[in-house]
Amino acid sequence: MSEEQKIPTTEEFIAHMEEQIKIAEVRAKLQALNMQIAKDRAEELNALMFIAQVTNPKNQEEGPEEETEAPAPTKRKLKSE
């Protein structure tokens, strides 16, 4: 027959559960940090897109004077991916 399984004492069981609680707390903190990193990266990308739009030479070439002379809008052509 196989070896008998050792039944943990109350103290061993409590120690094991306390260790599992500590591990769960560390995982929760890590998850919160990862979520904050994702939010910060998204904000950074939004800021970079804004800067790119503001500093785009095409946008600077087109002034308000050209808007009055612009023809009626046409259908947009999508870039093929």
pLDDT tens column, 56-76: 878 666 655 555 555 666 666
CA pair distance 10, 17, nearest whole angstrom: 11
CA pair distance 60, 71, nearest whole angstrom: 19
CA pair distance 38, 33, nearest whole angstrom: 9
pTM metric for this prediction: 0.54
81 pLDDT band, cuts 50/70/90, is: very low
